[in-house]
Structure 1
């Protein structure tokens, strides 16, 4: 059930059908949050580093940042990875013989304590791989978020029922209600009853299909509407109806680490919230992806020699944005120029001066400065 979205959604639909067929609020809340995360991560660039030097001409760089496979761009591919990771709590990426990266739709995992786990019956659309894959041969990510599963199983059903009842109550309050009375001397027989029913049918058709409806009153009939008595309740119930999906969205966003104002745009200054979002939500996924890529694409020896993958997210600051901080780091002697370049994923410069600690006069004590001037 965890890996099949269609079956999962059908269970929710059956659960809410008696009270309301509004299970789509679950999809709306989840899709809004997951798409926000997926769009952010899809803009990440993966740098291939070899002893501090970028290798942007390699096949690995091309597959991770341009075209993972013949049918998808890198942005689309990583969006699908994140969606499947959150929805299914896991995602399996198979590396084919042509070095393409393929997301598995379904698979069977056999776990072993002291050996590599084995993945069998791997399905991609209607195609099934004939061979089995070891854990060391695939890219496998786990989300391990049990709380989101609790939301899926319990919270959505409760909110679906509340939303359904508010929806039905709102329909009832906006329903046209009227009574049709007859003259006291009017005899109700089969013919008159048929005539009354015809009048009611015509009135219903007029009100249902037209913005403005005029119904002639026949002799002996008195038509009176009672809908206006419920008009005062309508506005408040519409507001309550709108609050339920928003409250549900707030719970899901909090669970995934997304500040709600980033989704609804209710706050103009979102710089602090964006930084918090990148730190506690996006970086969590990036770390999982980078760690798995480094473990599967490079050997232990290669990693120790400096071969690794580093991610540059959209929230990363450029050297121009941090120019003042860089100047202070180098001028105070806290970092060498090459160490600062490494912080921004720039290649190491083979120059002795770039590896020296520099301290400007502003950071030297007056006594030391006067001694240096005397020596000069």
Structure 2
């Protein structure tokens, strides 16, 4: 029995006309590119902002209150994590992967290099270490498996930002593609070419040649004059106003900015920090550091402390501390430092710790002092505060 193959009308048209087939594919690619472009642009803008901020963080290795800048851990975290990347590049890439994929796996090699895994499989257990299998870095796959205790594994949230925003990207991508398409159609040259007489194959070819030459003249020159032969009538119908064109251009910027604003809000970034629309950004920067950057840094530091030090080491004072770019400048905060110490609320060593400096060995740095004379609390309690040269000058 002969098999009957049914061909749809669309397939028959596509098979007969290669130009239509190419045009259809081009439309699909163009529509997809608009959605992909706006999604990639919004995510990259926000995530790169976070990655650049965190890449400027300095990780300090503390051993019993003293900074240790000679250890291998300090060198790997702040200078050269591996043979191919600087610390800044490494942390930027790690943060980008963390937010995009909602997780990042950092493998410690036998040479103590830190390598970001591009792909892996996680096998979870209830009472034992999870196992990471098929760990790949570029085209290389490790032959061994890694336990959770052997790697640095950081998660971002319960769900990846990309999956959370997929629905929104679809809607905004469709709107943006529609605006672009409408803008292109509104500004295209529309014209008709009339011919006085019968149209045969040769006449039709002549008309097409005339149209092609006219198009080339308009496209390649700022000023184009097209000669019209006898029997031909060329007439343009484009009536695009300047105000309408300006409005369409504004619409092209509004849609991406609305999407960018939503993505920034989802990641905890104040939008004026990205578009630079506000001059005074000190309060917004504090908010950005407190609610966007610091939670990520704390997550990283907790994981580093858990994997680099044992419980015993941590209790003995060994730990890693992150100094972000918003760390206090002691010169700018000199007046506040003076008030904190002079009011006996904090000791000098406590203030040093606030600013990321190691404690002083001077035993007086652990004493509380009061007034600008920097007397100890004990000395103040043993002596009376005088209003003049002696106690008789004090009001009764």
TM-score with structure 2 length normalisation?
Answer: 0.85
- What RMSD in Å do the two structures reach over aligned CA positions? 2.6
Q: Contact 1:337–1:354 (CA<8 Å) still a contact in 2? A: yes
Q: Does 1:369 align with 2:385?
A: yes
Relative to structure 1, the CA distance from residue 125 to residue 189 in structure 2 (aligned partners, 3 Å threshold; closer, same or farther) is closer
Distance 1:69 1:250 in 2: 36
Alignment of 1:182-201 (within 5 A): 182-183=195-196, 186-201=197-212
Deviation at 1:204, TM superposition (A): 2.1
Alignment of 1:256 onto 2:272: no
Give the 5 Å matches for 1:75-224. 75-146=88-159, 148-183=161-196, 186-224=197-235
Within 5 A, what are the aligned runs for 1:1-376? 17=29, 19-22=31-34, 23-146=36-159, 148-183=161-196, 186-229=197-240, 232-360=243-371, 369-370=385-386
- TM (norm. structure 1) is 0.89
SS of the aligned residue for 2:280 comes to: coil
Listed one character per residue, the Cα deviations across residues 41-68 of structure 1 (whole Å, up to 9, x for unaligned) are 1111001111111001111100000000
Q: Which residue of structure 2 aligns with residue 7 of structure 1?
A: none
Deviation at residue 163 of structure 1 after TM alignment: 0.8
SS of corresponding position for 2:326:
coil
* Unaligned stretches of 5+ residues in structure 2: 1-24
- The change in CA–CA distance for 1:301 and 1:43 in structure 2 (over 3 A counts) is same
Moved over 4 A (4+): 13-18, 229-232, 361-365
C-alpha separation in 1, matches of 2:31 and 2:141: 40
Q: Distance in 2 between matches of 1:47 and 1:130?
A: 33
Indicate if the aligned counterparts of 2:100 and 2:160 stay in contact, CA closer than 8 A.
no
Q: State the shift of 1:193 in Å.
A: 3.2
Q: Given that residues 60 and 69 in structure 2 are in contact (C-alpha distance below 8 angstroms), is that contact kept between their aligned partners in structure 1?
A: yes
- Distance of 1:15 and 1:254 partners within structure 2: 33
How many residues are aligned here? 360
Aligned to 1:5: none
Q: Residue 146 of structure 1 aligns to a residue in which SS? A: coil
User: What are structure 1's unaligned runs of at least 5 residues?
Assistant: 1-12
Change (3 A) 1:100 1:194: closer
| Pairwise CA distance, 1:152 | 3.5
1:69 and 1:94 mapped to 2: Cα distance? 11
SS at match of 1:228: coil
Q: Which has the higher contact order (CA 8 A, sep 6+)?
A: 1
Summarize the Cα distance change of 1:339–1:189 in structure 2 as closer, same or farther, 3 Å threshold: closer
Whether the 8 Å contact between 1:52 and 1:342 is mirrored in structure 2 is: no
